[in-house]
């Protein structure tokens, strides 16, 4: 029961941030996503591609399957914004975001509470015995915080309300 409660709390946090970002994306135009969140900072398309790529990388990290599009990992994770000149279109990045999160939702729904407390693939069996907190649930929690951070940046792309 305790593990079920903890996993439900974590999944509710994850899902609420997905919903918040989806709602924000529904308000932002492709043009707005091509803008920097503030002068000299990342563009919205980069932040969205970054989030989608990090989420995609969760599939193999959690032992849930292969990444859906490893070609996006270099321009959105390995390289800083503006270093890669030919990024995919905003429409393609939006579609990638939706596809990755739909796949994660399906995979998450299939996991039983005990399975969230199993080790992730970046930790050895030996290290996991010493550090059982290095589990799937800890990955979900850290990625939820990561998503919340970048949501705050993406929110800066909204036009200022008129006084």
Give the number of domains in the chain.
1
Listed residue (134, 49, 135) closest to 98, CA to CA = 49
Determine contact, residues 59/103, Cβ cutoff 8 Å. Answer: yes
Q: What pLDDT, on the 0 to 100 scale, is given for residue 12? A: 98
163 pLDDT above the threshold of 60: no
60 domain-assigned? yes
101 pLDDT above the threshold of 60: yes
Q: What pLDDT, on the 0 to 100 scale, is given for residue 113? A: 96
Q: What pLDDT, on the 0 to 100 scale, is given for residue 77? A: 97
Instruction: Measure the CA–CA gap between 107 and 20, rounded to whole angstroms.
Output: 21
Q: What pLDDT, on the 0 to 100 scale, is given for residue 159? A: 82
CATH code of 128's domain: 1.20.120.450
Calculate the average pLDDT of the chain. Answer: 96
34 domain-assigned? no
145 domain-assigned? yes
Determine contact, residues 66/60, Cβ cutoff 8 Å. Answer: yes
For the chain, percent of residues with pLDDT exceeding 90: 96
The whole-number average pLDDT for the span 149-162 is 87
The whole-number average pLDDT for the span 133-156 is 97
Residue 14: its H or E element: helix 2-27
Binned at pLDDT 50, 70 and 90, residue 36 comes out as: very high
Q: What's the pLDDT tens digit per position in 50-100?
A: 999 999 999 999 999 999 999 999 999 999 999 998 999 999 999 999 999
35 domain-assigned? no
Determine contact, residues 11/18, Cβ cutoff 8 Å. Answer: no
Q: Which domain holds residue 61?
A: 2-28+43-155
Q: What pLDDT, on the 0 to 100 scale, is given for residue 1? A: 73
């Amino acid at each position: 029961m305790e593990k079920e409660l903890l996993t439900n709390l974590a999944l509710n946090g994850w899902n609420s941030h997905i919903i918040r970002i989806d709602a924000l994306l529904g308000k932002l135009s492709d043009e707005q996503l091509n803008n920097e969140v503030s002068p000299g900072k990342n563009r919205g398309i980069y932040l969205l591609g970054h989030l989608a790529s990090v989420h995609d990388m969760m599939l193999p990290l959690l032992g849930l399957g292969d990444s859906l599009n490893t070609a996006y990992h270099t321009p959105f994770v390995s390289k800083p914004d503006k270093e890669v000149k030919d990024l995919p279109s905003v429409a393609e990045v939006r579609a990638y975001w939706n596809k990755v999160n739909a796949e994660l939702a399906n995979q998450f729904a299939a996991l039983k509470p005990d399975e969230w407390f199993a080790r992730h693939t970046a930790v050895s069996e030996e290290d996991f015995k010493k550090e059982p907190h290095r589990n799937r649930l800890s990955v979900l929690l850290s990625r939820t915080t990561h998503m919340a951070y970048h949501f705050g940046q993406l929110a800066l792309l909204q036009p200022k309300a008129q006084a």
